[in-house]
Amino acid sequence: MSLQQKFADRSAAIGVVGLGYVGLPLLLAYAKAGFRAVGIDIDPGKPAALLAGRSYIKHIPGEQVAEALASGKLEATTDFAVIKGLDAIILCVPTPLDEHFEPDLSYVVNTVEAVVPHMKPGQVLSLESTTYPGTTDEEVVTRVEKAGLAVGKDAFVVYSPEREDPGNPKFSATNIPKVVGGVTAECLAAGVALYESAFEKIVPVSSCKVAELTKLLENIYRAVNIGLVNELKVAADRMGIDIWEVIRAASTKPFGFTPFYPGPGLGGHCIPIDPFYLTWKAREYGVHTRFIELAGEINRGMPDYVVHRAMEALNSRGKPVKGSKVLLLGLAYKANVDDMRESPTFALLDGFKRLGAEVSYYDPHVPVVGPTREHMDWAGVRSVEWNEETLRAQDCVVISTHHAAFDLQQLADWSDLIIDTRNAMATIPTPDGLVVKA
């Protein structure tokens, strides 16, 4: 039976390596589609949770995991030896930046090197991690061929960028069009067969490099436009203009304008990071990507702007930042999820702490700060409780993330000063001077 036929009749076994915010939804999607779906992760806690029918990601209901487990289609392990019994291996591992804003491909390289010794002829190997153009050819193909597998004949290597949007109720793993590029025509055909068995729409492109750059363009588009509106926010504030009102008015134009919204900085594993993958690679070709770098500079500077606005507001009340109690609302990088990767709230915590404030946070989705590579000093810190006593004790409350769980009327009733970075208080009746937009 051909590989394509095995995908078509659901007799293929699909492996997903890396069971985080991208890998877990993908694994569950293949199990739901009727495939034997095998999750692999070096963190033993993740397979253990799945085998117990539990989800460890807030916006993915435990019922989905339990249902997949009960169907007999879901498996999870830390043992890479299971790869020899699979028909497709999909890699969903992090691609962070190092301290110099250069790509850190160690997760990709280490994972490929862990996978390749267990591969056999006739398998598809797909990389989904966001990266610079050329990564699949340079880091994946070379290692597969070094293991003695001819790409396009023995092994079919593809690149298909993830497009997950955690917490978005309109889009799930399978109803977002799936871009796929292959190393050869045979690789592309195998990759299309793999993904069309679970996704509603496939978008084949001519190469892995095209697919890699497609994902970077998507995220650079957002980063540059967010940088633009963040810069305009600062200018509008100086002019005494409400940038949110400006955006609402501009959004009434039925063509040529797409609204983007300012905030306290950029968060998540994509928008703050991915543009610099292209910046780094472009330097190899003698290209200086000025728009990208400027947008990154503006967005990274927004936490300092918020801290400065808070400092001005406290000073106007005769209170120095040093010794003031400052509460940050929202540790997650976006609303209604528990994902704190690259959250600008960490930069705000650091900024207020450096100025001597007594700083804390509240987030019902993140009750305790987990370990992170960049913010180890905050690991283990717990969210405060939401109550009148806690809020009245604060000199300043900063809305960093606008979770639906926040009771904004209570916040208005119990607070002395609110710094609103998300326009969250726009519809809440408040006395003059209570809310400062930043």
Catalytic residues: 270
Q: Is 316 exposed, middle or buried (0-12, 13-18, 19+ CB in 10 A)?
A: exposed
Give yes or no for a contact between 95 and 277, defined as CB atoms under 8 angstroms apart.
Answer: yes
Q: Which residues contact 108 (CB under 8 A, 6 or more apart)?
A: 91, 93, 95, 127, 129, 131, 135, 139, 140
Q: Are strands 178-182 and 155-159 parallel, antiparallel or unpaired?
A: antiparallel
Q: Tell which residue, 284, 329, 351, 285, has the closest CA to residue 422.
A: 329
Q: How far apart are CA 153 and CA 149, in angstroms?
A: 8
Give yes or no for a contact between 360 and 393, defined as CB atoms under 8 angstroms apart.
Answer: no
Q: Which helix (H) or strand (E) holds 223?
A: helix 208-239
> How many Cβ atoms from other residues are within 10 Å of residue 310's Cβ?
27
What does the DSSP 8-state code read for residue 141?
I
Q: How far is CA 318 from the centre of its chain?
A: 40
Give yes or no for a contact between 82 and 108, defined as CB atoms under 8 angstroms apart.
Answer: no
CA distances from 169 to 26, 164, 172 (A): 16, 11, 7
Q: Which two tokens stand for residue 47?
A: 């397979």
Give yes or no for a contact between 415 and 391, defined as CB atoms under 8 angstroms apart.
Answer: yes
Q: How far apart are CA 17 and CA 28, in angstroms?
A: 13
Give yes or no for a contact between 81 and 33, defined as CB atoms under 8 angstroms apart.
Answer: no
> Coil, helix or strand for 178?
strand
Which residue reads 């913010």 in tokens? Answer: 375
Q: Tell which residue, 259, 348, 342, 340, has the closest CA to residue 301.
A: 348
Q: How far apart are CA 318 and CA 307, in angstroms?
A: 16
Q: Looking at the DSSP assignment, which residues form a beta bridge with residue 204?
A: 180
